[in-house]
Amino acid sequence: MRLSTILLVYIAILIIGYFAGRQKAIAYSHALDAGRTMHSLPMYHGYYVLMWGAIPAIIAILGYFFMGDGLVLDRVIAGLPDEVRSLPESRLNLVLNDIRVVAAGAETSGESEAYIQSAADSLNAGREFLSLLLGLAVVALSSTGCYLAWRNLSGDFRARNRVESAIQVLLVMAASIAVLTTIGIVFSVLFESIRFFQKVPLFDFLFGLNWSPQTAIRSDQVGSSGSFGAVPLFLGTLMISGIAMIIALPIGLMVAIYLSEYTTARVRGVVKPLLEVLAGIPTVVYGYFAALTVAPLLRDFGLSAGLQISSESALGAGLVMGIMILPFVSSISDDVINSVPQSMRDGSLGLGATRSETIRRVVLPAALPGIVGGFLLAASRAIGETMIVVMAAGLAAKMTINPLEAVTTVTVQIVTLLVGDQEFDSPKTLAAFGLGLTLFIVTLILNIIALHVVRKYREQYD
Amino acid sequence: MLKPMDTQYGFIGNRSHDPYVAGRDTLSKEEQDGECIFETVGEVTSPDPIISVRNCNVFYGDNQAINNVTLDVGRNEVISLIGPSGCGKSTFIRCLNRMNDTIEGARVEGDIRLDGEPIYAKEVDPVLLRARVGMVFQKPNPFPKSVYENVAYGARIHGLARSRAELDEIVFSSLERAGLYAEVKSRMDEPGTSLSGGQQQRLCIARTIAVNPEVILMDEPCSALDPIATAKIEDLIEELRQNFSIAIVTHSMQQAARVSQRTAYFHMGQLVEVGATDTVFTNPIHRLTEDYVTGRIG
Ligand SMILES: Nc1ncnc2c1ncn2[C@@H]1O[C@H](COP(=O)(O)OP(=O)(O)OP(=O)(O)O)[C@@H](O)[C@H]1O
Ligand SMILES: [Mg+2]
């Protein structure tokens, strides 16, 4: 049975259930004495029936998606010739892949073995059977659910409260999906990093001055150990995001002050959304801009000033990244400055302070914690940014503090470590997770501090 | 340019035949809604004015909030401005130190003078004007700084003190005059916001007198305070009158009666009646004033 058919039938049953429940409630309400009302509106009775029709069947459908294919495959494997079944895990997987491909009706390269063809047939048959089963189960579950719920309805049934708790459960589930995903990500990075740190000591990683993972390609090569001192990467990251912050902080702050204190509402209404458009530009586009426009400009400028600026430089990447995070700084600062109560400004102006004195001495100090929070958020954005740096700062892990040279960052190295065709458990690939974890911890700390600071500030005026 | 006082604001004398005067039984709807033009009754002028306002109109965009108000604030006098909510009291006192300049779309017309100088003239710097005409707001609004820095703020901005000792002197004496010194002398470095509401409001008054203004405007300074804190501020106002002229907006008739010598009653952007405080409260001329002070409207 086709899945779409099953879904259509399912939805039809639910709609019927809804109206049946509603209808029954309406009938009850007609039977009531004048002046009395039912506990719940007919609509809620309808939703209650719908809910009970929907939930058991949705569990069946989810179960089908997550486990159905596995069950069928197990049966297919059981039907394979013994010598195939006793193959090692990875080879077996290749065979299974072939079976899947044939089952999907695609041409395979070369002549496929007879057992593959027959396994593919049994796979298809199994799938067919399973989906039929699913169809029957869905129809049975949803109609029984609806019926039982419908029978349960009565004039004073508290359907509204039931629906309320169901909605609560739904929301909790949605929230836990987000939380669980985060936890999952953290753990996957964590486990791989632990494997990395089993091969490379944590101390060497955090404090080593030499980064050259490329040497560790094959075990029979000389110098195969590679070296994973991440300090040059940290330095590069620090330098580029530092340059970005040096650009973004003052400009962003001034933009925010201009927007919140000096413009009319009309200008603000135009300029602020425009600035926020900057935040929506894909970072790849900033990358082009950095590599194709800013870098040549810098190089030419360097030539005329007698400076050697390489075409991939920390400076160029940092400048463009500064422009990228500018809207974060200005937008958050603007919000924070705006939330400083007008009475503060009135108090200062009323004492004969000028507008800029008021801003410097009253508004900014009052808004400072929130602004700092905004800066920290922007900083963690800058540290995690990859694309601009890949395109404009280069790949050389050089130990330098000269912003005119090419440097590399943690994120860029993660990308280059993972795009090679390396064995997955070589230190080179695993190093990416070590770097990822470090990055994650640093930005997490920055974010926690930032949120804490912002929250503390909010409390002050609410 | 101005018409002589007597023709424009006819003296109260024999106005008992005036259709608007107290004792008349009914007011027309137009009168209650302020849709007709009232002639201000009572003494709008003062023998020794520090601020004089002539034919003042204020607009917020297209809305007129103040309609042709003429009024004097006398030297060393406390004048209270009363009237129903939204009648323009705050708008009016904000004209006197040009605080309305800071509101987008607000426009002030008319002749307003401080010590005979027109304050809306081109060459007048509103920033300097505000140092001469200080303002205390409805909600205490200490800066997020220490008690000391709150009071020192104005003095620092205007460079009133040449040394730390002079600054101390200004801060302590202002706190003293605001009746707050004894309460905060050991708390100079704590944030101003850590004081109680009443203390905060006195801190704001101290902050205002620290720049030594000639006039202090107060917009419902006690509306956020309890009766005891209110009583302290009222006593303070009485004392401050020795050195300053004060215009105070209040919703409390008792407060107006206690602290002010003159009272002005506003209605829908117009000044209906001005006079000695006792007269306005015990023997108002205008029917609208009577209704307000006896609690029938507002
Ligand atoms: N910033 C502003 N922009 C536009 N209109 C305003 C503004 N401030 C006041 N108004 C309008 O001007 C009129 C007078 O307001 P104002 O605040 O002066 O009244 P008020 O007498 O002080 O009232 P309250 O006793 O409630 O403080 C009101 O109709 C008000 O809506
Ligand atoms: Mg007001």
Interface of B to A at Cβ within 8 Å reads: 97, 99, 102, 104, 127-132, 134-135, 137, 139, 141-145, 153-154, 157-158, 204, 207-208, 211
Residues A265 and A374 grouped into a single domain:
yes
Residue B11 in this model has a pLDDT that exceeds 50: no
The number of folded domains in chain A is: 2
Q: Which atom of ligand 1 is nearest to the CA of B89?
A: 21
Backbone angles phi, psi at A436, to 5 degrees: -60, -45
Is A460 in CB contact (< 8 Å) with chain B? yes
- Count the Cβ atoms, other than its own, within 10 Å of residue A267: 12
Residues A233 and A123 grouped into a single domain:
no
Residues A421 and A309 grouped into a single domain:
yes
Residue B78 in this model has a pLDDT that exceeds 90: yes
Asked whether residue A219 is domain-assigned, the answer is: no
Q: Answer yes or no: is the C-beta of B147 below 6 A from any ligand 1 atom.
A: no
Cβ contact A351–B97 (<8 Å): no
Identify the residue whose tokens are 């001055």. Answer: A209
Q: Residue B146, SS3?
A: strand
Cβ contact A351–B139 (<8 Å): no
Q: For residues A57 and A134, what is the distance between their CA atoms, to the nearest angstrom? A: 9
pLDDT of residue A422: 65
Asked whether residue A383 is domain-assigned, the answer is: yes
Q: Measured at the alpha carbon of residue A433, what is the angle toward residues A429 and A437, in degrees to the nearest 5?
A: 165
Is A260 in CB contact (< 8 Å) with chain B? no
Residues A324 and A411 grouped into a single domain:
yes
Q: For residues A198 and A192, what is the distance between their CA atoms, to the nearest angstrom? A: 10
Bridge-based pairing of strands A227-228 and A211-212 is: antiparallel
CATH code given to domain B36-293: 3.40.50.300
The band of B29, judged by pLDDT with boundaries at 50, 70 and 90, is low
Q: Which residues of chain B does A264 touch, with a Cβ-Cβ cutoff of 8 Å?
A: 104
CATH number at residue A338: 1.10.3720.10
Asked whether residue A18 is domain-assigned, the answer is: yes
Residues A295 and A389 grouped into a single domain:
yes
User: Which of A119, A142, A157 is the last residue before a domain boundary?
Assistant: A157
Contact residues for B214 (Cβ-Cβ < 8 A; gap 6+): B50, B114, B115, B132, B133, B244, B245
Residues A111 and A231 grouped into a single domain:
no
Q: Answer yes or no: is the C-beta of B88 below 6 A from any ligand 1 atom.
A: yes
Q: Which of B205, B154, B162 is nearest to B181 (CA)?
A: B205
Q: Answer yes or no: is the C-beta of B79 below 6 A from any ligand 1 atom.
A: no
Q: Measured at the alpha carbon of residue A383, what is the angle toward residues A378 and A389, in degrees to the nearest 5?
A: 115
Q: For B83-110, what is each residue's pLDDT tens digit?
A: 999 999 999 999 999 999 888 889 999 9
User: Which of A128, A157, A186 is the last residue before a domain boundary?
Assistant: A157
Asked whether residue A16 is domain-assigned, the answer is: yes
pLDDT of residue B60: 94
pLDDT of residue B3: 35
Q: Which residues of chain B does A366 touch, with a Cβ-Cβ cutoff of 8 Å?
A: 143-144
List the domain range (segments joined by +) for residue A107: 3-157
For residues B128-155, average pLDDT = 93
Query: Which of the residues A336, A351, A358, A368 would you substitute to probe the B interface, choosing the one with the greatest number of B C-beta atoms within 10 Å?
Result: A351
**What is the CA(B81)–ligand 2 centre distance, in A?**
10
pLDDT of residue B206: 93
For residues B217-229, average pLDDT = 88
| Whole-number average pLDDT of chain B | 86
Size of interface A-B (CB pairs under 8 A): 69
Asked whether residue A210 is domain-assigned, the answer is: no
Rounded to a whole number, what is the distance in angstroms from the first to the last CA of chain B?
35
Return the minimum-mean-pLDDT range out of A8-12, B75-79, B223-227: B223-227
Cβ contact B144–A351 (<8 Å): no
Cβ contact A346–B99 (<8 Å): yes
Per the structure block, which two tokens stand in for B145?
């700084």
**What is the CA(B254)–ligand 2 centre distance, in A?**
18
Residue B21 in this model has a pLDDT that exceeds 60: no
CA B283 vs. chain centroid, Å, equals: 23
pLDDT of residue A216: 47
Q: Which of B114, B140, B109 is nearest to B218 (CA)?
A: B140
Question: With contact defined as beta carbons under 8 Å apart, do B277 and B261 qualify?
Answer: yes
| Max CA separation in chain A (angstroms) | 97
Q: Which of B232, B22, B111, B219 is nearest to A347 (CA)?
A: B219
Q: For residues B275 and B278, what is the distance between their CA atoms, to the nearest angstrom? A: 8
Residues A151 and A234 grouped into a single domain:
no
Residues A252 and A140 grouped into a single domain:
no
Residue ranges, chain A, pLDDT below 70: 1, 107-112, 214-225, 421-425, 457-462
Asked whether residue A97 is domain-assigned, the answer is: yes
Contact residues for A153 (Cβ-Cβ < 8 A; gap 6+): A21, A24, A25, A28, A45, A48, A49, A159
The band of B150, judged by pLDDT with boundaries at 50, 70 and 90, is very high
Sequence length of chain B is 298
Q: Which residues of chain A does B137 touch, with a Cβ-Cβ cutoff of 8 Å?
A: 343, 346-347, 350
Residues A387 and A251 grouped into a single domain:
yes
pLDDT of residue A211: 81
A378 CA to chain B: closest CA distance, Å? Answer: 26
Residues A265 and A143 grouped into a single domain:
no
Residues A149 and A235 grouped into a single domain:
no
Q: For residues B109 and B95, what is the distance between their CA atoms, to the nearest angstrom? A: 10
Residues A35 and A121 grouped into a single domain:
yes
Question: With contact defined as beta carbons under 8 Å apart, do A92 and A115 qualify?
Answer: no
Question: With contact defined as beta carbons under 8 Å apart, do A351 and B203 qualify?
Answer: no
Task: Quote the DSSP letter at residue B2.
Answer: P
Contact residues for A32 (Cβ-Cβ < 8 A; gap 6+): A38, A155
Does this model's pTM top 0.90?
A: no
DSSP string, A29-75: HHHSPTT---SS-HHHHHHHHHHHHHHHHHHHHHHIIIIIHHHHHHH
Return the minimum-mean-pLDDT range out of A95-99, B60-64, B158-162: A95-99
Q: Which residue of B has its CA nearest to A266?
A: B104
Asked whether residue A390 is domain-assigned, the answer is: yes
Asked whether residue A446 is domain-assigned, the answer is: yes
Residue minimizing CA distance to atom 7 of ligand 1: B60
Residue B156 in this model has a pLDDT that exceeds 60: yes
Q: For residues A291 and A164, what is the distance between their CA atoms, to the nearest angstrom? A: 55
Residue minimizing CA distance to atom 17 of ligand 1: B90
